[in-house]
Amino acid sequence: MLAKRIIPCLDVKDGKTVKGVNFINFRDAGDPVELGAEYSRQGADELVFLDITASHEGRKTFAEMVAQVAATLNIPFTVGGGINELSDVERLLNAGADKISINSAALRRPELIDEIARNYGSQVCVVAIDGRLEDSGEWVCYLNGGRIPTDRTLFEWAKEAENRGAGEILFTSMSHDGVKTGYPNEALAQLSDNLSIPVIASGGAGNMQHFRDVFIEGKADAALAASVFHFGEIKIPELKQYLEKEGICVRH
């Protein structure tokens, strides 16, 4: 069995790490470069940095932060936010990022996935999907940090992203984000069954059992979380020890 990955996520706004609930009500969680280095020391397998209010002005600052992160980390890290074309990808990879996460830009122009995979390899391209379970029973994909619903649904869009060359799918349940009641394991299991690329679960971690459940019931390859790590509610070494006792293979 491949080792499951634990991935802290740092949402970066104006150079600071922030954390919200259901994509709103943000509070400050510290310096992203320092936090990233601390997670690396604690045994995180990878990190994700998201420029959550990526604007044209902010991109240069973000690339500078990526370079600082790359200088202090010895684990792979993914960056996302405001990536709309190959030149954005190139700038962030040159700054030291290992992978690039695209979300709204891919929904608006799916060919971007093909272009990144063709130019840099599938392993660089993470397609992030923000989904909400609607009253219709369908998981609908949202644009612009969860603000605008689209006519795409989770499972068909994830499959198309895989077919176009995505290396991983990062699925965030907007309904579960920041509320700490567990991950959407049923949807995640269905995603994992439908796809042959890794699925990263995001949105809902509140305790260690939620991580166990997302790997066993949700069949996720990796679990991403933010506030439980940022505010010290769960320590990564203790989480890995717990998961091992539960029979889940993790990296050391």
Q: Which residue has the higher pLDDT, 199 or 29?
A: 199
* Choice among 11, 45, 51, 221 that is catalytic: 11
In the predicted structure, residue 21 carries a pLDDT above the cut 90:
no
Count the Cβ atoms, other than its own, within 10 Å of residue 248: 16
Amino acid letter for position 224 = L
As a whole number, the mean pLDDT across the chain is 90
Name, of 29-38, 45-54, 83-92, the range with top average pLDDT. Answer: 83-92
Q: Rg for the chain (alpha carbons), in Å? A: 17
Distance of alpha carbon 237 from the chain centroid: 20
**pLDDT for position 178:** 60
Q: Token pair of 92, please?
A: 């962030």
Q: Which residue has the higher pLDDT, 72 or 252?
A: 72
Tell me, letter by letter, the H, E, C secondary structure of the chain: CCCEEEEEEEEEECCEEEEEECCEEEEEEECHHHHHHHHHHHCCCCEEEEECCCCHHHHHHHHHHHHHHHHHCCCCEEEECCCCCHHHHHHHHHHCCCEEEECHHHHHCCHHHHHHHHHHCHHHEEEEEEEEECCCCCEEEEECCCCEEEEEEHHHHHHHHHHHCCCEEEEEECCCCCCCCCCCHHHHHHHHHHCCCCEEEECCCCCHHHHHHHHHCCCCCEEEECHHHHCCCCCHHHHHHHHHHCCCCECC
* Choice among 51, 88, 130, 221 that is catalytic: 130
**pLDDT for position 59:** 67
List beta partners, residue 17.
12, 30
Provide mean pLDDT across the span 40-47.
96
* 130 tagged catalytic: yes
